[in-house]
């Protein structure tokens, strides 16, 4: 029997990281060999304020089980105010998802500086653990993406 | 003619559902629409479903085929042609007539395989309208709400505490044969009374006496540049609510969905009222809402009859009268061209 | 109501006659009293201008196009209190030109919903007479009556304000807003549910969506030249609900795009042919904004800065969502 | 033969099994760059066939899975066997994709759609005048080559073709090396503005047409941008052409190709079924919305 | 679609030990657009780069993906490589399979799968990349300094010395600012005027410096390198070319009731006045609010006494428009209005003064000619109480939350000077903390305590009231001995908080420079770019950015000058190519984008557009690519999606999402 038929379910996690702090934080995690689950895939954006709610929904549509956005700590934004806007936008979006009955733990925002490799890894480990416990995301996704067609 | 007690309707439904899938009006979240019947599903005798019955044959979205790509190679797999045997119960006369209109589109050459298969696999059971409302004007288009046998397989009437049942086509008779056990024979007295009662009401319907003399296949020149269109279309929002509740509107779009595991090509309803309906890379031939508005009504009242022996593409169900956000509708269009005379 | 209708017609005639305005945006009479249509009038056509308890539609959005086309003179528009908020919001977003519009504010006691009348089992309505407290309804099945308060438009049962926030003059008698229910009560009730209950509720409601776009096209905040959902290049374009995800995407993004800009005029829910309570999405954002960033009512003040294009240094963290009660 | 279980007549072409909307796979075997924004694609069935037979002026739907489907006129003549050519101008989402394609790419194709030019009926024995502008040569290309292949059936052949610049002339090689050199075919080329290295005619197609002052004893076949068509028609009528002597082909949004989706509906006609080829007197009967 | 080459780096064993690089190459070969894929030991090496260049040429690649270390490491390298091979550098994408993959995962299968997905995302993105060109804009080689205090002067002199013309705009009639009002400076106790006035003269005489005193900035347009500024030169009603500064008019002016701002209103001045003897320019100015001629049409004495004929009642405000490449904001500070702190009797008792007032009282040119006197009765005081942190470090609405930073030191200075000159005067200082982090600062403070026996009391004063004998009672707490204390004193000196000048809000708005909740100008980065504003071309000098003492101010002023010089030294500015661009056909003109832009890069124009054949004039957003830094805030604020960001477009990011979620 081929092994992958028995494959255990693993979550799919998309992480949007701002170029200046969080992406560098992720790099530092790498340089420091701090491991976190391979399920986490990072997309680089210039600033957390570049993250459009449509990207997050798109990720869920395509079958992501959790989406996390990381940016510079408030006050430290490379573009001075970007993450303040991002903070409001994400709060609103997450609130709406929660309101629609989507598990609120599937979305998260964390501020990770370039020096916080440790924190980056810890956050990702924790988020992946949360998502794994929540299980597969069935409430928000396009079934057409999950169905195996032949 | 047969009957069954209203109280035993669910017996009738389970009997029908033994060999076929049954669809009938069901109220869900405050809105009545056709839905699949399962044990326990309650039939709703509202006069009109919000959406017409057309999406039973021409669903709002329907997958046509799937593509697989690998490098430069592609593979095209047509989706399975539906073979579900179905019964539609509780169809009003107007909707039943709309099927004939849709047939002349989808079952004319080249036939639409998906629509044709659904249509051929289904039995249409109409139900007479015991309480028509002010928006109904099916009489204008020759539909008899009291006796909608013209376009159905079985006609039914709710009268007293009974549902009367009359098969009016071969398909209808075959179905009747299948389920005869739950029906009892009956004379036509109570049905005739009901028909007479409904006919009296239809005479009171304010829109039911409109005249269509201004319309028809030969009226393009007379109507196309008429000044009325400006005023009529002025407030139109360009939404598709009239189109999507209309039993005869059949414009569709074909789209590709690029999912993770291959590409689906599906068909979905579209509306000539949408601003991008005829949009191409370099522009559209109907840039204004007036043109789009005119197209919809000209199509129903002029172009369609021109290609279909004078048959109009409207059945007077009045859904647009009830649903248009700004209360503009085909009745107002007909009237503004002298239809109320 | 009849009195106000008379005043409105008289004023429209006067303003047309003295050249203050060159056209009038109001409501045109229909076949059954309840089916009035927004329309533009001039001296010749002004006769068919009506005002009744069924003039629920918000005329402000029509001014976007009308202002563009208006080269000389002003347009007279009749705006109810809630409509004036939308007008202001459109001013804020530079979509209309204040100079080209003459705003006549019309006081409002709440508008009526024909669907609610029909839901009372009153069928075949041909005429409705509003007596102020109760309604006299003529139908093909005889005469019926009902209480006015039973059949108010959903948006009018939770009226946010009877204040006209912008006008050149006012007509009608000022109404009190005392009977209005708490407009956030329904949102709060949903918030109080468990996640699963909320999911079931919205799944049930949103799955009715037929993507007719009526909510979007009527919305004064949805005034984009091209909507992202119509733009094939946007990556989210969609036309149908081929999967339940699409309707969620559509309504979430729509609510998000109008967040902080929605004046809560309630037109989305009024026009939905499937009766989806879409205003509960927008109102959720309004409630959140009020709670997290301080009270803000879009359209209350022209030129105000919408909360989502604003911030403070000590805004709440998104994690407040996770810290909420139910799960 | 009918493969379904229905009781159809013997020679019924059954649509029950396969829907008309389903394309067949084909492969792009050659891509020629005609102008900076026009490329010609040669499409061959996976079995090496020409996919289906067509008549000059007819169209086909090309499918790029995941991108969509669009209607294009078939540029090659039915007399050219074993392939279909499409000259396609880059102007939108799908054509962008086509232009970035490489040889060997498989695509979907279905057709033929629309009515052809009446090459075997009305055109027979007639003198033909082809007038094209820009990419408008594509639908006429097929007719011209069909006429060349059956030269004996037709009278004189004149081809008037213009474009913005010399670089925008489609099929320039073929025009120069084949058409111009053929006996009994007169080719008149023009470009909108003066250009270095161009010693031919300069000026818009309608004005050149007037300069050429053809006798009205021809059947005119026109295709090009709407503005050109408008002025060419005027010019032709001034020159004494009857409306029944003039044919053109319309370009409208077509989605299904089979006259059902509603997009190409103008008046009581469906361009993808009743058109795209119309005689001018037929076109006059349509409401002014194309 | 592009012709993409994928280059997978082993990074020695850094990547190859955990990621099966051959498998990655195999897996990406069938991705859309990919026509070449290869792995190599060190892509960043000469040989690796040569491999990339060859492949670009040989396979006619239009885009490349390098699967390697973090783009922060080698993106620039590979962009250069691509450029050398004739490919636009922005057609390069990096898949970070080292820091984000091989270094954090141990399982080879898992890491390889992830590497493939990251590569796919990069491929999906590069498929939608478009060549980008960095723009250029010319630089006007002239600087504007707003504010003529020590900060502005220092910046201006430094810029001017570097050879660039500088204009100083100062709103008061003279340059010099707050420092001119100071008596002595800590910790050296040298005379402020002695070190400042030479600077003032230097600025005035510098061939590269133009002074616009009694002038204000009216309007700022343009952007870095190309500011257009309108300056209002207010009418002095004195012809400055004629005025000799003889001050006869100022002495003869009969309107003498109004306070003298320079001496903190402790004495009066005439309606025509020269702020102080060393004012630059040394030119009189008529205060029209006080001038009898302007109020009644009569008088005119000044005109009569002026032998130079410089008085000109008809003078009008003058407007000057000038182009600048850079702007330095040096608007300085003012003393917090302490009237709200009524428990200290400031408004009620003339012997309660602010430190700046004390500064004037102690100054030889001050109201008392430098003798320390009680303002109530002009008698010599015997006891003085200093109260620290009045309005600083508080948390009520009348307080500033920040530390004003200079108060501890100037109080020590005052205490020491008083004790030095008047050993009979007892000095008490109530303080919360004494903060002395500066060179020789703590030594200075300790001298005050140890050598001059200044009585430092840790604790706050609760209230001050006047006793019947006319002296002041001070009630406070001594936190060290934890007891309440009552002192009787002759004077109370309040170390009032400092705050940014009021006009700064207006200037910040004109410059689209951001200010914080305290109205201090925000720096582009608090650590790394402390003298730049987030708005390109605008620099910060002095206290407008935050509280500072003189040496700090001067060093920041110099730093700002260097930044300006660095900017003006360039002939052209290369602009960031990853900028926001609006799609004109989709723009609603709603201004949402402009409201979130931290750089003021978005403007609106009325423009005719051709929307599929329909022509109309619309209000459209335009992005000044010289200002846009590419954060993308506007792209999300835009509901129609008209605003997109080059290099990180909506479609590119969504393509990455799609590729990852596959």
- 8 A C-beta contact, residue E584 and residue E614: no
CA D127 vs. chain centroid, Å, equals 19
pLDDT of C142 > 80? The answer is yes
Decide: residue C41, CB within 10 A, 0-12 exposed, 13-18 middle, 19+ buried.
buried
- 8 A C-beta contact, residue C217 and residue B239: yes
- Mean pLDDT within D88-111: 91
| Mutation choice for D interface testing from B57, B66, B67, B74 by most D CBs within 10 A | B74
CA atoms within 13 A on the CB side of C258: 34
pLDDT of B130 > 80? The answer is yes
The pTM score is 0.82
Residues from chain B contacting residue E29 (CB–CB below 8 Å): 71
pLDDT of A149 > 60? The answer is no
| Mutation choice for A interface testing from B74, B79, B260 by most A CBs within 10 A | B260
Across the interface, of E1, E2, E3, the residue whose CB is closest to D97 is: E1
pLDDT of C87 > 90? The answer is yes
pLDDT at D252: 73
pLDDT at A147: 60
How do residues D196-237 score in pLDDT, each as one tens digit? 989 899 999 999 999 998 888 999 999 998 889 989 999 999
- Mean pLDDT within B331-339: 90
Given a contact as 3+ CB pairs under 8 Å, which chains touch E? A, B, C, D
Across the interface, of E585, E588, E641, the residue whose CB is closest to C228 is: E641
Interchain touch A–E (≥3 Cβ pairs closer than 8 Å)? yes
Interface TM-score (ipTM) > 0.90: yes
- 8 A C-beta contact, residue E641 and residue E657: no
pLDDT at D2: 40
Domain count, chain D: 2
> Any idea which residue has 């090309």 for tokens?
D62
Question: Which residues of B touch chain A, with CB atoms under 8 Å apart?
Answer: 66, 68, 257, 259-262, 264
Query: Does E10 share its domain with E108?
Result: yes
* C225–E651 CB contact, under 8 Å: no
- With bands split at pLDDT 50, 70 and 90, how would you rate the model's confidence at C325? low
Residue E281, preceding peptide bond in cis (omega within 30° of 0)? yes
* D101–E2 CB contact, under 8 Å: no
E527 → chain A, closest CA residue: A76
E610 → chain B, closest CA residue: B283
Q: Where are chain B's structural domains? A: 2-204, 220-339
B65 → chain D, closest CA residue: D22
- 8 A C-beta contact, residue E100 and residue A26: yes
Which CATH number, 1.10.287, 3.30.420, 3.40.50, 2.40.50, labels domain A9-135? Answer: 3.40.50
pLDDT at C234: 86
Measure in Å the smallest separation between the Cα of E2 and chain D Cα atoms.
7
Query: CB-based contacts of D132: which residues, under 8 Å, 6+ apart?
Result: D140, D159, D160, D161, D162, D222, D223, D224
pLDDT at A17: 96
CA dist C219 and C239 (Å) reads: 18
Residues from chain C contacting residue B231 (CB–CB below 8 Å): 39, 45
Edge-to-edge, what's the strand order for the sheet holding A107-111? A40-45, A13-18, A66-71, A107-111
pLDDT at D8: 53
How do residues D242-257 score in pLDDT, each as one tens digit? 999 999 988 777 888 8
**Percent helix, strand, coil in chain B (nearest 5)?**
35, 25, 40
A149 → chain B, closest CA residue: B261
pLDDT at E396: 86
- Backbone angles phi and psi of B199, in degrees to 5: -60, -40
Percent of chain A beyond pLDDT 70?
93
Across the interface, of C62, C204, C210, the residue whose CB is closest to B244 is: C210
D225 → chain B, closest CA residue: B282
pLDDT of B268 > 80? The answer is yes
List, in sequence order, every beta strand (DSSP E) within D20-178.
24-35, 38-45, 59-64, 68-73, 84-89, 106-113, 127-133, 157-163
Residues 21-80 of B with CB under 8 A from E: 70-71
The residues that bridge with B278 in the sheet, in sequence order, are none
Q: What kind and span of H or E run contains E619?
A: strand E614-623
The closest of A88, A56, A82 to A69, measured between CA atoms, is A56
CA dist E164 and E656 (Å) reads: 48
How do residues C303-323 score in pLDDT, each as one tens digit? 999 999 999 989 999 988 877
Contact of B80 with chain D, judged by CB distance below 8 Å, is answered with no
pLDDT at B306: 93
Average pLDDT taken over every residue of chain D: 88
- 8 A C-beta contact, residue E598 and residue A82: yes
> Any idea which residue has 């919000």 for tokens?
B50
- Mean pLDDT within C267-282: 94
pLDDT at A7: 64
- Flag whether C156 is in a domain: no
Alpha helix (H) residue ranges in E363-440: 407-421
How do residues A10-60 score in pLDDT, each as one tens digit? 899 999 999 988 999 999 899 889 999 999 999 999 999 999 999 999 999
Any idea what the Cα angle at residue B121 is, between residues B119 and B122, rounded to 5°?
70
- 8 A C-beta contact, residue D133 and residue D248: no
* A91–C259 CB contact, under 8 Å: no
Query: CB-based contacts of D249: which residues, under 8 Å, 6+ apart?
Result: D57, D73, D117, D139, D223, D275, D276, D277, D278
Interchain touch A–D (≥3 Cβ pairs closer than 8 Å)? no
Query: Does D100 share its domain with D144?
Result: no
- Flag whether D118 is in a domain: no
CA dist B125 and B96 (Å) reads: 9
CA dist E471 and E468 (Å) reads: 7
CA dist C124 and B198 (Å) reads: 13
Query: Does D37 share its domain with D149?
Result: no
Query: Does C87 share its domain with C32?
Result: yes
CA dist A53 and A89 (Å) reads: 8
How do residues D16-67 score in pLDDT, each as one tens digit? 467 889 999 999 999 999 999 999 999 999 988 889 999 999 999 999 999 9
- 8 A C-beta contact, residue B329 and residue B242: yes
CA A70 vs. chain centroid, Å, equals 8
Question: Judging by DSSP bridges, how do beta strands B61-70 and B73-78 pair with one another?
Answer: antiparallel
Question: Which residues of A touch chain E, with CB atoms under 8 Å apart?
Answer: 12, 14, 23-24, 26-27, 29-31, 33-36, 38, 41-47, 49-55, 58-59, 62-64, 75-76, 78-82, 85, 89, 121, 145
Query: Does C231 share its domain with C173?
Result: no
pLDDT at A110: 95
pLDDT at D19: 80
Query: Does E370 share its domain with E507?
Result: no
pLDDT of A3 > 70? The answer is no
Contact of D97 with chain E, judged by CB distance below 8 Å, is answered with yes
Average pLDDT taken over every residue of chain C: 91
- 8 A C-beta contact, residue B133 and residue C124: yes
Query: Does D95 share its domain with D146?
Result: no
Question: Which residues of E touch chain B, with CB atoms under 8 Å apart?
Answer: 29-30, 612-614, 658, 661-662
Across the interface, of B66, B68, B260, the residue whose CB is closest to A145 is: B260
* E30–B287 CB contact, under 8 Å: no
CA dist E634 and E550 (Å) reads: 40
* B260–E30 CB contact, under 8 Å: no
Residues 98-127 of D with CB under 8 A from E: 100-102
Alpha helix (H) residue ranges in B216-278: 220-224, 228-233, 241-245
Contact of D8 with chain B, judged by CB distance below 8 Å, is answered with no
Across the interface, of E29, E612, E658, the residue whose CB is closest to B287 is: E612
- Flag whether D154 is in a domain: yes
3-state DSSP assignment of residue E261 = helix
Query: Does E13 share its domain with E106?
Result: yes
- Mean pLDDT within B115-143: 94
pLDDT of B304 > 60? The answer is yes
pLDDT at E526: 76
| Mutation choice for E interface testing from B69, B71, B73, B259 by most E CBs within 10 A | B71
Domain count, chain C: 3
Tell me the torsion sign for CA atoms E476, E482, E483, E488. negative
CATH number assigned to the domain comprising residue D68: 2.40.30.10
pLDDT at C88: 95
> Any idea which residue has 């056209």 for tokens?
C23
3-state DSSP assignment of residue A5 = helix
Domain coverage including residue C256: 182-327
- 8 A C-beta contact, residue E101 and residue E114: yes
Domain coverage including residue E625: 580-646
Q: What kind and span of H or E run contains B296?
A: helix B289-298
- With bands split at pLDDT 50, 70 and 90, how would you rate the model's confidence at D15? very low
Mean pLDDT for back-to-back runs of 10 residues, chain E (662 residues)? 93 94 94 92 95 95 95 91 95 96 94 96 95 89 97 97 97 96 93 93 96 94 88 95 92 90 93 94 94 91 93 95 96 94 92 96 92 93 96 90 95 96 95 94 95 95 93 94 94 96 87 80 83 88 96 96 96 89 93 91 92 87 90 94 95 94 84
Residues from chain D contacting residue B291 (CB–CB below 8 Å): 289
The closest of D279, D245, D283 to D129, measured between CA atoms, is D245
pLDDT of D5 > 60? The answer is no
Query: Does C5 share its domain with C80?
Result: yes
- Mean pLDDT within B309-334: 94
CATH number assigned to the domain comprising residue E21: 3.40.50.960
User: Would you state the structure tokens that stand for residue B56, as one six-digit string?
Assistant: 């039973």
Contact of B241 with chain C, judged by CB distance below 8 Å, is answered with yes
Domain count, chain E: 5
Question: Which residues of A touch chain B, with CB atoms under 8 Å apart?
Answer: 62-63, 142, 144-149
Buried/exposed code over E422-453 (b: 16+ C-beta within 10 A; e: otherwise): beebbbbbbbbebbbebeebbebbeebbeebe
Domain coverage including residue D186: 127-249
CATH number assigned to the domain comprising residue D227: 3.40.50.80
The residues that bridge with E211 in the sheet, in sequence order, are E168
CA dist A60 and E142 (Å) reads: 53
Helix axes C244-258, C279-293, angle to 10 degrees: 50
B275 → chain E, closest CA residue: E612
* C242–A144 CB contact, under 8 Å: yes
User: Would you state the structure tokens that stand for residue E422, as one six-digit string?
Assistant: 């008047």
Query: Does E218 share its domain with E347?
Result: no
Query: Does D170 share its domain with D101?
Result: no
The DSSP output letter for E248 is H
pLDDT of A2 > 50? The answer is no
pLDDT of C214 > 50? The answer is yes
pLDDT at E197: 94
């Amino acid at each position: 029997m081929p092994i992958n038929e028995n494959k255990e379910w693993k979550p799919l996690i998309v992480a949007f990281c701002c170029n200046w702090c969080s992406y560098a934080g992720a790099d530092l995690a790498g340089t420091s060999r701090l491991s976190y689950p391979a399920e986490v895939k990072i997309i680089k954006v210039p600033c957390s304020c570049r993250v459009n709610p449509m990207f997050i929904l798109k990720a869920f549509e395509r079958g992501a089980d959790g989406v996390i956005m990381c940016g510079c700590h408030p006050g430290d934004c490379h573009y001075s105010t970007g993450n303040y806007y991002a903070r409001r936008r994400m709060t609103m979006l997450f609130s709406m998802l929660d309101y629609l009955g989507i598990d609120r733990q599937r979305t998260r925002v964390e501020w990770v500086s370039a020096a916080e490799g440790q924190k980056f890894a810890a956050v990702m480990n924790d988020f992946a653990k949360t998502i794994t416990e929540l299980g597969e995301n069935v409430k928000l996704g396009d079934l057409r993406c999950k169905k195996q067609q032949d | 003619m047969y009957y069954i007690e209203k109280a035993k309707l669910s017996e009738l439904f389970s009997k029908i559902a033994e060999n076929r899938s049954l669809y009938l009006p069901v109220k869900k979240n405050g809105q009545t629409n056709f839905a699949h019947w399962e044990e326990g599903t309650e039939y709703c005798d509202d006069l009109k479903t919000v959406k017409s019955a057309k999406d039973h044959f021409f669903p709002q979205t329907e997958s046509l085929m799937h593509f697989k790509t690998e490098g430069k190679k592609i593979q095209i797999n047509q989706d399975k042609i539906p073979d579900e045997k179905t019964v539609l119960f509780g169809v009003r006369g107007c909707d039943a007539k709309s099927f004939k209109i849709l047939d002349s589109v989808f079952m004319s050459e080249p036939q639409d395989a998906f629509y044709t298969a659904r249509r051929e696999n289904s039995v249409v059971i109409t139900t007479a309208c015991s309480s028509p409302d002010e928006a109904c004007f099916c009489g204008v288009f020759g539909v008899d709400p009291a006796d909608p046998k013209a376009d159905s397989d079985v006609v039914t009437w709710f009268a007293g505490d009974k549902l009367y049942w009359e098969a009016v086509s071969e398909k209808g008779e075959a179905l009747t044969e299948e389920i005869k056990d739950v029906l009892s024979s009956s004379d036509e007295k109570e049905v005739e009374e009901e028909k007479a009662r409904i006919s009296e009401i239809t005479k009171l319907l304010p829109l039911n006496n409109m005249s269509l003399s201004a319309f028809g296949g030969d009226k393009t020149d007379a109507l196309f540049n008429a000044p009325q269109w400006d005023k009529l279309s002025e407030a139109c929002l360009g939404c598709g609510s009239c189109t999507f509740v209309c039993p005869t509107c059949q414009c569709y779009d074909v789209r590709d969905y690029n999912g993770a595991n291959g590409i689906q090509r599906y068909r979905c309803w579209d509306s000539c009222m949408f601003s991008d309906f005829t949009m191409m890379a370099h522009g559209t031939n109907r840039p204004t809402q007036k043109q789009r508005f005119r197209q919809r009504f000209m199509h129903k009242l002029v172009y369609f009859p021109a290609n279909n022996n004078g048959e109009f593409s409207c059945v007077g169900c009045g859904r647009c009268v009830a649903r248009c956000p700004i209360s503009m509708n085909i009745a107002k269009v007909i009237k503004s061209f002298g239809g109320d005379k | 109501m009849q009195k106000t209708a008379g005043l409105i017609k008289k004023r429209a005639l006067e303003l047309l006659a003295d050249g203050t305005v060159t056209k009038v945006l109001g409501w045109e009479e229909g076949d059954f009293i309840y089916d009035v249509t927004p329309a533009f009038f001039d001296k010749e056509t002004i006769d068919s201008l009506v005002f009744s308890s069924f003039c629920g539609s918000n005329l402000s959005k029509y001014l976007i196009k009308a202002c563009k086309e208006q080269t000389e003179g002003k347009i007279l528009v009749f705006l109810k209190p809630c409509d004036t908020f939308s007008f202001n919001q459109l001013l804020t977003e530079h979509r209309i030109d204040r100079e080209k519009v003459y705003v006549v504010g019309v006081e409002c006691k709440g508008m009526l919903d024909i669907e609610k009348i029909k839901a009372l089992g009153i069928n075949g309505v041909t005429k409705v007479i509003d007596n102020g407290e109760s309604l006299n309804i003529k139908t093909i099945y005889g005469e019926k009556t009902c209480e006015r308060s039973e059949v108010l438009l959903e948006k009018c049962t939770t009226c946010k304000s009877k204040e006209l926030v912008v006008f050149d003059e006012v007509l009608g008698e000022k109404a009190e807003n005392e009977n209005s229910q708490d407009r956030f009560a329904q949102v709060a009730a949903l918030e109080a549910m468990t996640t699963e209950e909320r999911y079931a509720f919205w799944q049930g409601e949103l799955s009715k969506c037929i993507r007719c776009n009526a909510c979007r096209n009527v919305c004064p905040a949805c005034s984009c030249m091209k909507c992202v959902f119509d733009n094939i290049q946007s990556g989210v374009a969609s036309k149908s609900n081929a999967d339940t995800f699409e309707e969620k995407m559509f309504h979430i993004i729509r609510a998000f795009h109008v967040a902080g800009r929605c004046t809560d005029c309630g037109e989305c829910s009024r026009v939905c042919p499937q009766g989806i309570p879409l205003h509960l999405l927008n109102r959720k954002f309004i409630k959140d904004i009020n709670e997290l960033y301080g009270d803000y009512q879009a359209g209350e003040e022209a030129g105000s800065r919408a909360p989502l294009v604003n911030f403070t240094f000590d805004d709440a963290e998104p994690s407040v969502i996770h810290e909420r009660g139910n799960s | 033969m009918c493969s379904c279980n229905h009781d159809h007549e013997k020679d019924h072409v059954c649509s029950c099994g396969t829907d008309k909307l389903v394309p067949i796979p084909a492969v792009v075997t050659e891509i020629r760059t005609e102008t900076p924004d026009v490329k010609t694609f040669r499409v061959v069935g996976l079995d090496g066939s020409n996919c289906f037979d067509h008549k000059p002026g007819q169209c086909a739907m090309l499918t790029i899975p995941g991108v969509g489907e669009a209607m294009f006129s078939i540029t090659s003549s039915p007399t050219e066997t074993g392939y279909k050519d499409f000259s396609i101008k880059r102007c939108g989402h799908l054509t962008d994709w086509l232009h970035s394609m490489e040889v060997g790419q498989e695509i979907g194709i279905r057709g033929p759609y629309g009515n052809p030019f009446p090459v075997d009926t009305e055109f027979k024995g007639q003198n033909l005048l082809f007038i094209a502008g820009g990419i408008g040569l594509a639908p006429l290309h097929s007719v011209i080559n069909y006429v060349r292949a059956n030269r004996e059936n037709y009278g004189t052949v004149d081809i008037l073709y213009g474009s913005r610049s010399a670089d925008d002339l489609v099929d320039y090689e073929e025009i120069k090396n084949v058409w111009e050199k053929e006996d009994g075919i007169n080719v008149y080329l023009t470009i909108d503005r003066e250009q270095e290295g161009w010693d031919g005619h300069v000026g818009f197609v309608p004005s050149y047409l007037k300069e050429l002052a053809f006798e009205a004893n021809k059947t005119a076949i026109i295709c090009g941008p709407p503005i050109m068509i408008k002025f060419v028609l005027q010019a032709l009528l001034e020159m004494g052409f009857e409306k029944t002597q003039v044919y053109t082909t319309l370009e409208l949004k077509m989605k299904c190709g089979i006259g059902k989706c509603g997009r190409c509906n103008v008046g009581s006609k469906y361009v993808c079924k009743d058109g795209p080829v119309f005689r001018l007197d037929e076109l006059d009967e349509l409401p002014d919305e194309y | 679609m592009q012709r993409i080459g994928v280059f997978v780096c082993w990074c020695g064993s850094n990547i190859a030990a955990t990621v099966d690089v051959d498998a990655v190459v195999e897996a990406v070969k069938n991705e859309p657009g990919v026509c070449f894929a290869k792995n190599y030991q060190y892509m960043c090496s000469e040989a690796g780069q040569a491999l990339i260049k060859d492949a670009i040429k040989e396979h006619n690649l239009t885009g490349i993906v390098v699967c390697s270390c973090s783009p922060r490491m080698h993106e620039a390298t590979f962009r250069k490589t691509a450029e050398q091979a004739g490919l636009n550098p922005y057609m390069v994408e990096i898949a970070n399979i080292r820091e984000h993959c091989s270094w954090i995962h141990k399982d080879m299968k898992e890491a390889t799968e992830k590497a493939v997905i990251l590569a796919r995302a990069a491929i999906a993105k590069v498929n939608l990349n478009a060549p980008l060109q960095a723009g250029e804009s010319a630089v006007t080689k002239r600087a504007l300094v707003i504010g003529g205090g020590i900060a502005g002067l220092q910046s201006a002199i430094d810029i001017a010395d570097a050879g660039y013309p500088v204009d100083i705009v100062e709103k008061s009639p003279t340059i010099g600012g707050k420092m001119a009002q100071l008596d002595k400076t800590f910790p050296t106790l040298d005379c402020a005027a002695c070190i400042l006035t030479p600077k003032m003269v230097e600025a005035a005489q510098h061939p590269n410096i133009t002074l616009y005193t009694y002038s204000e900035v009216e309007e700022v347009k343009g952007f870095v390198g190309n500011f257009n500024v309108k300056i209002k030169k207010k009418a002095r009603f004195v012809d400055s070319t004629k005025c000799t500064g003889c001050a006869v008019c100022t002495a003869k002016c009969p309107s003498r009731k109004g306070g003298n701002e320079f001496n903190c209103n402790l004495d009066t001045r005439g309606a025509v006045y020269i702020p102080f003897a060393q004012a630059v320019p040394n030119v009189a100015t008529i205060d029209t609010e006080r001038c009898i001629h302007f109020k009644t049409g009569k008088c005119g004495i000044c005109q009569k006494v002026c032998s130079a004929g410089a008085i000109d009642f008809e003078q009008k405000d003058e407007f000057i428009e000038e182009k600048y490449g850079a702007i330095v904001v040096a608007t300085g500070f003012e003393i917090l209005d302490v009237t709200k702190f009524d428990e200290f009797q400031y408004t009620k008792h003339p012997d309660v003064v602010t430190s700046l007032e004390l500064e004037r009282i102690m100054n030889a040119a001050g109201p008392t000619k430098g003798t320390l006197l009680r303002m109530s009765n002009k008698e010599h005081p015997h006891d003085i109480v200093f109260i620290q942190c009045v309005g600083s470090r508080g948390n009520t609405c009348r307080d500033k939350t920040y530390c004003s930073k200079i108060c501890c030191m100037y109080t020590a200075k005052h205490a020491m000077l008083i004790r030095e000159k008047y050993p009979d005067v007892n000095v008490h200082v109530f303080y919360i903390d004494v903060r002395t982090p500066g060179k020789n600062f703590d030594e200075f403070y300790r001298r005050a305590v140890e050598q001059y026996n200044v009585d430092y009391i840790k604790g706050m004063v609760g209230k001050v009231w006047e006793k019947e004998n006319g002296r002041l009672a001070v009630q406070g707490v001594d936190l060290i001995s934890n007891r309440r204390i009552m002192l009787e004193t002759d004077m109370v000196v309040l170390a009032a908080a400092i705050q940014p000048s009021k006009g700064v809000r207006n200037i910040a708005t004109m410059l689209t420079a951001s200010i914080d909740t305290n109205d201090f100008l925000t720096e582009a980065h608090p650590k790394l770019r402390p003298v730049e504003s987030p708005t390109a071309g605008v620099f910060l000098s002095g206290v407008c950015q935050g509280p500072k003492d003189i040496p700090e101010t001067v060093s920041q002023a110099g730093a700002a000058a260097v930044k300006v010089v660095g900017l003006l030294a360039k002939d052209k500015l290369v602009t960031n190519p990853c900028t926001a661009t609006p799609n004109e056909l989709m723009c609603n003109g709603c201004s949402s984008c402009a409201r979130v832009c931290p750089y003021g890069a978005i403007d609106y124009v009325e423009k005719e557009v051709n929307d599929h054949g329909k022509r109309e004039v619309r209000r459209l957003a335009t992005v000044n690519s010289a200002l846009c830094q590419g954060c993308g805030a506007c792209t999300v604020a835009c509901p129609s999606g008209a605003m997109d960001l080059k290099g990180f477009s909506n479609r590119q990011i969504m393509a990455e999402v799609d590729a990852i979620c596959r």
